Amino acid sequence: MLASFLLALREGIEAALIIGIIFGVLRKMNKADLKGVVWRAVAAAAGLSLLAAVILNVAGTEFEGMGEQIFEGFAMLLAAALLTWAIFWMRKQSRSVQKDIEEDVRAAADSTSTGTLFALSFLAVAREGLELSLFLLAARFTSTPLNTYFGAIFGLTTASLLGWLLFRSTIKLDIKQFFRITNIMLALFAAGLVGYGIHEFNEAGLIPALIAPIYNINHLLDDNGPFGLLLKTLFGYNGNPSLSETIAYLGYFISLGLILWLVPSRKKIKAN
């Protein structure tokens, strides 16, 4: 539940911030009458995201045996790739995203057609929603469906409340610090998805285990026990992993760390 809550909170906060920026620009331009266009776009994007979530979950239940293992493996790796992209995108764009959105909204609001503003709002929210649909599918594979859905609903509700408080009160959220903390959590979750995805490919026979298992500590911390399941959901913990699974898990961390260290952020580029 904690993983789905974090994912939904993160994506929900991003969507709420974007919508808040759009409404702020419309208010400054004295075009509050266009808020209805934005809300219709948000509703359409939410509907598309919900439909995508249903389709993904239904598709997942149609597979059995090797087909199910392959589907879950690819879903895990795709979700990990999107999470990694989101981490790098936010690291690079966090300082300019508000300015970029404001410029796009001003251009759309000045347009003679409301279609441009609708498309801008729709795409901004739909991107977050579709990403969340895939993330929750991956999270469901490592947790129970009930816990996954409950955590997602709680996360989206919290994100909506925080978004409302941010733009209706004097409460300020340190957005930079928020995304820094969630980026660390999501990197750990993504590494777990990579390891779990390779585990599914091991089971399907697509990727050799090499050595299975390389160790077994389930007698100390069972990955099917209460605390073990929590670690499994959040960080991909496995009490008896294969060698290829472990290589993939550690390889992801090493690669991510090297890229973050070698590739400067936009702030460092400007400073130079």
What are the domain boundaries of the chain? 2-271
Global pTM exceeds 0.85: no
Predicted pLDDT at 246: 93
Q: Are 198 and 250 in contact (CB under 8 A)?
A: no
Predicted pLDDT at 271: 47
Q: pLDDT of the chain along its 272 residues, tens only?
A: 677 888 888 888 888 888 888 888 888 888 888 889 899 999 999 999 889 888 887 777 777 788 888 888 898 898 889 888 877 877 766 556 667 777 888 888 777 678 888 988 898 888 888 888 888 877 777 677 777 888 888 888 988 888 777 777 655 666 667 777 777 877 888 888 898 899 999 999 999 999 989 999 999 998 888 788 778 777 778 899 999 999 999 999 888 878 877 765 544 444 44
What is the spatial distance between Cα 233 and Cα 245, in angstroms, rounded to a whole number? Answer: 16
End-to-end Cα spacing for the chain: 43
According to DSSP H, which parts of the chain are helical?
Answer: 2-28, 35-61, 66-93, 97-109, 115-141, 145-168, 175-204, 226-235, 243-262, 266-271
Predicted pLDDT at 86: 79
**Which of 247, 137, 143 lies closest to 195 in space, CA to CA?**
247
Predicted pLDDT at 269: 46
Report the interhelical angle of 35-61 vs 115-141 (nearest 10°): 30
- pLDDT tens, residue by residue, 139-195: 777 677 777 888 888 888 988 888 777 777 655 666 667 777 777 877 888 888 898
On the 0-12 / 13-18 / 19+ scale of CB atoms within 10 A, 109 is buried
**Which of 158, 137, 124, 122 lies closest to 52 in space, CA to CA?**
137
Predicted pLDDT at 12: 87
Q: Rounded to whole angstroms, what are the CA distances from 16 to 23, 77, 120, 163? A: 10, 27, 14, 5
